[in-house]
A and B are shown apart, each in its own frame.
Chain A
C-alpha cells in the first residue's frame, strides 16, 4: 500500500513537471501583444513604428509603444506651451522638434528640403502623415507610454504633450512588464 502511494506521488510530480513544460511550449504567459521601444525622433523611423503599430492592431495584436529619448518630442503639442522652465529646459524646448509634424528624415533631410519633398510625395501617394497616424493609433486603442525620465531630462511637462487617449507616463519597469508578456518586441 505504501509503495503504491509513493508511486502515485512520483506520478503526480511528473505530471506537474510535464504540464509546466507544456505551458512553456504552447507559449502561455505571453499574450498576442507587440511592445515597441520608440527611441528615434526621425520622421522615417516614427512612420515605420506607427505603420507596424496600426497594422498590428489589424492582425489582432494588442499594441504598446514606449516613447523614450529622441522620440519624446514627437508627442509634443505644437499648440501648447508650458511655463516655469529653467534655462536648460527652455533650450531643449527650442531646439527639439515641437510635435510630430516638425520631425525630420534621418537621411536626405538637406536642410529640411528633403523632408518637405518626402511629405509632399506621401500626400500624393495617399500615405497617411505622422499626425494622422498618431490620431489613427488612438482610435485603434494603441497604448502609448512615455518615459518619465526623458520628459524630465528634456524639461518637458505633461501639459505641453498631445491629448492622446490613455497616454501614460512611466519608467522602464512598466515597459518591461509589457514586453515580458509580449510575443513581439521591437526597438526603433
Chain B
C-alpha cells in the first residue's frame, strides 16, 4: 500500500464543481483498466463527490491524502 504506482496525474486545483468530476471521468479513460490515476483537487466538495463518482462509475479510490486545502485521490480504473 505504501508504494502506489501512479500512471497518470491530473491537476484539478482551483476548479470548482462540477469540473473535478467531469475531468476525472474523462481522465480515468486515459489509463488502462487496473492502472492508477492520481487527481489533485482543492474543491472541498470533492471529498464527498469523488467517492460518490467512484461508486457510481465502478472505479475504486485506493487512497486519499489531504494536505492543507489540497486533496490527492488515487483512483484505480476497474471498468
Residues of A that sit less than 8 Å from B by CB: 51, 54-55, 57-60, 125-128, 136, 140
Chain B residues with CB below 8 A from A58, complex form: 18, 21-22, 24-25, 53, 57
Q: Which of B6-34 contact A (CB under 8 A)?
A: 14-19, 21-22, 24-25
Q: Please give, as numbers and ranges, the residues of chain A lying within 8 Å of B21 by CB-CB distance.
A: 55, 58-59
- Report the separation of the CA atoms of residues A66 and B56 in the bound assembly, to the nearest whole angstrom: 25
B57 touches A59 (CB 8 A): yes
Inter-chain CA distance A60–B22, complex, in Å, is 10
Q: Identify which of B14, B16, B19, B56 contacts A59 (C-beta below 8 A).
A: B56
Are A140 and B14 CB-contacts (below 8 A) given A59-B53, A59-B57, A60-B57? Answer: no
Residue contact B17 to A126, C-beta cutoff 8 Å: no
Q: Closest approach, in angstroms, between the C-beta of A128 and any C-beta of chain B?
A: 7
Please give, as numbers and ranges, the residues of chain B lying within 8 Å of A55 by CB-CB distance.
17-18, 21-22
Residues of B participating in the A interface, judged by any CB pair closer than 8 Å: 14-19, 21-22, 24-25, 52-53, 56-57
State A125–B45 Cα separation when bound (angstroms): 14
A60 CB contact (under 8 Å) in B14, B16, B24, B56: B56
Assess the B15–A126 pair: CB atoms within 8 A: yes
Given A59-B56, A59-B57, are A54 and B16 neighbors across the interface (CB < 8 Å)?
no
Whether the Cβ atoms of A136 and B22 lie closer than 8 Å is yes
CA of A25 to CA of B57, assembled, Å: 22
From the candidates A57, A125, A126, name the one contacting B25 in the complex (CB within 8 A).
Answer: A57
CB pairs A–B below 8 angstroms (24 shown): A51-B17, A54-B18, A55-B17, A55-B18, A55-B21, A55-B22, A57-B22, A57-B25, A58-B18, A58-B21, A58-B22, A58-B25, A58-B53, A58-B57, A59-B25, A59-B56, A59-B57, A60-B57, A125-B16, A126-B14, A126-B15, A127-B16, A136-B22, A140-B22
Shortest distance between the CB of B64 and any CB in chain A (Å): 18
Evaluate contact between B15 and A51: CB separation under 8 angstroms: no
